[in-house]
Chains A and B, each alone.
Chain A
Amino acid sequence: MTSEDERSPWRPQLQTTLGHCLGALALLPPLVGQASAHGVGPSSFEAPLPLPYLLVGAGATVALTAVGLGLLGSVPEGSRRLTRLDGRWPTRGATALRLGFLALVVAVIVQGLFGRQVAAENLATVAVWPLWIKGFALVAVVSGSPWRLLSPARTLYRVLSAVEGRPLGARALPAWVGSWPAVAGFACLVSVENLTAATREPATTAGLVAGYLALVLAGGVVFGPDWFRRADPFEVFYRLLGRVSVLSIEVAGAPAGRRPVPECAGGRGAGESGARADGGLAEDRSTSAALLPPVRRLDRVDIAVRPPWRGAARPVAGSGLATLVVTAVYAVSFDGFVETPTYQTLLFAVRNATGLGPMAGLVVFVAGLVSALAIFALIATFTGYLAGLSRPSLAIAPTLVPIAAAYEVAHTYTYVGANLGRLPALVGGAVIDPLWWLGIPGFWASQVVLLVAGHLVGVLAAHAVLSRRTDRSGTVLAHLPLVGLMVGYTMISLWIVSLPVVG
């Protein structure tokens, strides 16, 4: 930030406020000492300060940021272009990427079904859960969703449309469907991931991938591209995460005037349509040029940077998307929570009380999700009442996306890195550890920094949302319920990530 010049959209006073908060957090890694050798260090360590102090300090940082914003006024939301690319190369590259990823998915299915049934050695389990599902989430957070570009169902759809000679899918997807198919798919995904052995079974993984592809492709053939945008859980989830990416890729030369998208009626604001692939690596129609003539080729692609809260300050278009945001935040938190002794205590309390045996895990998961949705609805309603928002959950839900994104990155980046390093071993090479330099203290410190940063971005986004509807004093008042939620969740998140490692 110190290298930002006058063209920066970030105002100096805001930089100062955030600088103090983030500067204090940036001191954490040196405080916890040098990273030990990855894989040989201790599994726990003494935190540089008592855990209660850290939790209170982090919560106070979030609260003080909200107070500071109330005093300063609005938050900047502009962007700045970094570079412009000739449109031919992204088009060719996109086609190659699409076909390459489709080939990889086919290889995943074949090896998953017929390869050696060892999770750590089979392409299906190594590629699907860590690299596809988690890895693309990280990509989405950093540079926008890659899924509209890479989706194998979309690629197959394009191939079939090319065979047909026109785009398939004449029937309109009813508006009332919204994004609920994606929500259902996402709920299934996190349930399978957290509560079954599928992540350890190559054949099951291959079967799930094939089933997912069949369902999404069949829907696309019936309903056309709207189906992919609103029903594919990966496309919807990654697009939501892409809202916080600091990179923005804008496409020029794509056809204008697209069919309205009911669920994503936010239009450009929701990152769904228009020439700008907001939070995406490529615009939909233009990148279909290679397989679906006639389509205008791209003229240019602009790559810009933007503040991460800008996308999180735009409302989502339906309650399905709001539900998915809350589910995403809850799921990634639950994924961390299950690794703590506290979860074991809770789980066995439920087991003993209900006699449900192994099903108690599902009960805990669902009960937690319902509670999370209820708390969110309560906070959103209260905030909406204070700010005069008509559909507050749609405006408030995206302000939680930075938290989901931060937790996703904090919880999975080592998992993704380790499995990336395992890819050479699948073709006879040696395992590479790209995170060899990272020890337990450094990993924990990175989690703390990411989580607090995510909550700060969430606070900024919520402030931006509320300041559009209220005056300065009204914004501060309306922001209170959300700030309380953010402070509480900051502390809970840090507690969850600290329990397994901080001695």
Chain B
Amino acid sequence: MRIRTAVALVVVLSALGSATAVGLTTSSTELTERWISDTPRDTRVNHHGIGTGPDGVVVAPVSRVGGAENMAPNDCALVRLAPDTGAVRWRAGVAPANCTTHALTKPAIATADGTRSETVFAASTERALHAWDVTTGQERWRVPLSTYGYGQPALFERDGKAPAVVVSDIGGEVSFVANQSVRWRHDLDASTWASPIVADVDGRPGREILVGTNQHTTALTPEGEVAWQSAGAGEYVALGPPGDGSRLVIVSRTSAIEALDGASGRSVWTQNVSGSAAIESVTTDGPVPTLYAGLSDGRVLALDARTGERRWLTRLDDADQVITPPPAVGDLNGDSTTQVVAVTSTGLVTVLDGETGSVRASYSRDVPIYTAATVADVTGDGVDELFIRYGDGRVVALEYR
């Protein structure tokens, strides 16, 4: 071989070798399975989220499709899972006659002193809000609802007392439950999928209860009176950043994301989107408070939550008919930065850089995901854990490292 050929060959092979080394070592972070729960069902449409609480509480609603044959007592059940192995601690079943895909909402976990989980709350197709003992799974009490609930109940913390529970049913009736009894009900008379949100949004003393429906977004007082009601639908609702005294309330619906003034409900900004947008999380720890939205075509959109201006747009999946539930946020690796966790109905879980939208790691099963990831520090180590609700009933705990 001539020298010139040898030199050319060395150059080419060195370049290719370097590219190989860089390429295979660039993806230094990955999402790996910690465990998968042994809670399968003969369906792929489980889509109600996982509830978490301090001291290692992970509770998932697991359901079959209504009308299935040979329905057993625990086919639709709330299942508490061990945070380190995914083993089943207890099951609290819904009556087989009421067992459907929507049998149980995402549960809310109340604590005794802020650090110790005590009670699990969820609404069910038994037309009730239930309270279960977090340790044993025994039902403590229930209050009736007009119909079944869809969104996760919200906790209304009260000084020195057990928290009240705010629950909305699918028909839009909001119930305020304290001391095991209903204090008031308010019927919004519209389909309600979003979870109620309890927060001070008007800048005045006291908290409001935000409820989004397919007709309006409504702020209720703790007494059940309407503080304000927006003109547009709020199929998803998220708390925005603080504004001038009040706090922004951000809602989304088909074709639009809109920020409302928390004091008056008037529109502050609107961002049009193609299809629908699913929202849940706003980060305020970075240089720009950012809202993350899952679009109905497999993309995640990040907006400046104060102005509605686009920060980045990332396509997660190019398959057809991709549902992108609301992205969740958290610090998954303890580096004090925010990661965004987005999921799609193609079974894909993706960790995105919150500032740039670049993909940091991904994980996938050939099973659909129809609800947002749950990101929470259930072990108290300062690092958030990641739980995924797959459509086949299984819960997957992932580790980002």
Contacts and interface: CB of A to CB of B under 8 A. Distances in A.
A163 B1 CA distance: 10
A493 B263 CA distance: 61
Nearest to B320: A39
Contacts of A118: 314-315, 357-359
Contacts of B5: 160, 163-164, 168
Nearest to B5: A164
Contact of B27 (A201, A344, A358): A201
Interface in A140-159: 156, 159
Interface in B1-46: 1-2, 4-5, 8-9, 12-13, 15-17, 19-27, 30, 32-33, 36, 38, 40, 42, 44
Contact of A344 (B15, B356, B366): B366
B35 to A, nearest CB: 8
Contacts of B13: 214, 217-218
A209 B23 CA distance: 9
Interface string B332-374: 0000000000000000100000001111111111110000000
A455 interface: no
A217 to B, nearest CB: 7
A168 B1 contact: yes
B321 A160 contact: no
B316 interface: yes
B359 A38 contact: no
A189 interface: no
Interface string A37-76: 0111101000000000000000000000000000000000
A171 to B, nearest CB: 12
A221 B25 CA distance: 27
A160 B2 CA distance: 10
B366 A343 contact: yes
B23 A204 contact: yes
Contacts of B359: 117-119, 200-201
A417 B17 CA distance: 32
Contacts of B36: 348, 351
A197 interface: yes
A210 to B, nearest CB: 4
Contacts of A156: 12
A121 interface: yes
B126 interface: no
B318 A419 contact: yes
Interface string A193-206: 00001001101111
Contacts of B118: none
Contacts of B4: 163
Given A116-B358, A205-B23, A200 B9 contact: no
B26 A204 contact: yes
B317 interface: yes
**Which of B42, B318, B357, B359 gathers most chain A CB within 10 Å?**
B318
A357 interface: yes
Interface in A170-210: 197, 200-201, 203-210
Contacts of A214: 13, 16-17, 20
B392 interface: yes
A221 B321 contact: no
A303 interface: no
A79 to B, nearest CB: 39
Nearest to B392: A344
Nearest to B315: A120
A113 B2 contact: no
A492 to B, nearest CB: 18
A156 B11 CA distance: 12
A404 B5 CA distance: 41
Contacts of A163: 2, 4-5, 8
Contacts of B319: 418
A120 B8 contact: no
Contacts of A203: 22-23, 26-27
A86 interface: no
B315 A207 contact: no
Interface string B298-326: 10000000000000001111111100000
B295 to A, nearest CB: 13
A399 to B, nearest CB: 31
B22 A113 contact: yes
Interface string A340-351: 010111001001
Nearest to B348: A200
B19 to A, nearest CB: 4
Contacts of A373: none
Given A160-B5, A344-B367, A113 B23 contact: yes
A23 interface: no
Interface in A206-263: 206-211, 213-214, 217-218, 221
Contacts of B348: 200
- Counting chain B CB atoms within 10 Å of each CB, the highest count among A207, A221, A418 belongs to A207
B122 to A, nearest CB: 26
A40 B2 contact: no
A43 B370 CA distance: 14
A210 B366 contact: no
A349 to B, nearest CB: 11
A39 B321 contact: yes
A358 to B, nearest CB: 5
B350 to A, nearest CB: 8
Contacts of A41: 321
B49 to A, nearest CB: 21
Contacts of A285: none
Contact of A120 (B42, B317, B320): B317
12 contacts: A40-B321, A43-B321, A117-B27, A163-B4, A164-B2, A164-B5, A197-B364, A203-B26, A207-B23, A218-B13, A221-B9, A341-B392
Given A197-B363, A206-B19, 10 more contacts: A113-B26, A116-B356, A121-B314, A200-B364, A203-B26, A206-B23, A208-B20, A211-B17, A221-B9, A351-B36
Interface of B: 1-2, 4-5, 8-9, 12-13, 15-17, 19-27, 30, 32-33, 36, 38, 40, 42, 44, 298, 314-321, 348, 356-367, 392
Pick the 3 closest A-B CB pairs, nearest first: A207-B23, A210-B19, A203-B26
Interface of A: 38-41, 43, 109, 112-113, 116-121, 156, 159-160, 163-165, 168, 197, 200-201, 203-211, 213-214, 217-218, 221, 338-339, 341, 343-345, 348, 351-352, 357-358, 418-419, 422
